[in-house]
Amino acid sequence: MNSTIDQIAQHRSIRQFTSQPVAPELISQAVKAAQQAATSSNVQAYSMLQISDPKVRHKLAELCGNQEKVAECGAFFVMCADSRRHRLLAKRANKKYQSHLEGFLVGVIDACLFAQNLAIAFESMDLGICYIGGLRNDLIQAQKLLNFPIGVYPLFGFCVGYPDEDPFKRPRLPLQAVLFKDQYPSDQEMLDLIDEYDQEMSTYYIQRGASGRTWSPQIAGFHEELRRGDLADFYKEQGANLT
Ligand SMILES: Cc1cc2nc3c(=O)[nH]c(=O)nc-3n(C[C@H](O)[C@H](O)[C@H](O)COP(=O)(O)O)c2cc1C
């Protein structure tokens, strides 16, 4: 193919890192590249906080569900949707700042595009990365530690560092289960494709020493209960309008 596609296709999350820090120049290079991600109307509604204080990293590791990698990786960041700059500009221009769901979504989308570009940039430097959705386990406590101003919405953490493990790549759904031509497939077609994938995932889990596991039972159980039900209240407190 080409080296970019090869690079992207090699991704796997890294969860064990050596203690080697990531040099600030590498971080700057990766962030500059990541900033070139497309952004809705060039609003650039995201930002990222690097957490360098070891005590704060340890506390965040706990809050993220005792994920030690948060404290141990070479560099840890909190990725945010960010309307703060827009609010400052509105205020300076004596204009009203109207918070709305569209603005929130734009920030979330922008932050994700930036984050995934950043992931690829770091991986191209032979570093490993892991997104940390566990940050949303307890955003109220995370906010007490990090003091984000109104208009900044922490979304997830992001570990980067030198890998201290070499995990298998996790298989993905068949192409036909995510790329459709002209119309959405029937439910039965989709379920058949998933059965195919379950077989592949079951081989993957056997290789990892976790035989008996596969994908669909996991996903089927994933949405049985309300998860992180305090998110809307948290983001509203931070200034989001979710209607
Ligand atoms: C937004 C987001 C949040 C995630 N949160 C966590 C997390 O808290 N802890 C973790 O170990 N992995 C986390 N992951 C990694 C996923 O579990 C992983 O990407 C997925 O299982 C696919 O595996 P792979 O990245 O190795 O291909 C997260 C990934 C994303 C995109």
Nearest-10 Cα torsion for 135, 57, 119, 105: 30
Give pLDDT tens digits for 65-81: 999 999 999 999 999 99
| Any atom of ligand 1 within 6 Å of the Cβ of 119 | no
Task: Decide if pLDDT at 25 tops 90.
Answer: yes
What number of other Cβ atoms are within 10 A of residue 116's Cβ? 16
| Any atom of ligand 1 within 6 Å of the Cβ of 156 | yes
Give pLDDT tens digits for 107-165: 999 999 999 999 999 999 999 999 999 999 999 999 999 999 999 999 999 999 999 99
CA of 130 to the centre of ligand 1 (A): 6
Task: Decide if pLDDT at 1 tops 90.
Answer: no
| Domain encompassing residue 124 | 3-168
Residues 33 and 152 in one domain: yes
Residues 198 and 91 in one domain: no
Residues 119 and 238 in one domain: no
CATH, residue 136: 3.40.109.10
Residue at which a domain ends, from 140, 168, 196: 168
Residues 91 and 178 in one domain: no
Residues 148 and 212 in one domain: no
Residues 159 and 183 in one domain: no
Give pLDDT tens digits for 86-97: 999 999 999 999
Residues 177 and 163 in one domain: no
Residues 160 and 186 in one domain: no
What pTM was estimated for this model as a whole? 0.97
The sign of the dihedral angle between the CA atoms of 65, 69, 72, 76 is negative
| Any atom of ligand 1 within 6 Å of the Cβ of 171 | no
| Any atom of ligand 1 within 6 Å of the Cβ of 137 | no
Residue at which a domain ends, from 111, 143, 168: 168
Residues 101 and 189 in one domain: no
Q: How many domains in the chain?
A: 2
Residue at which a domain ends, from 151, 168, 185: 168
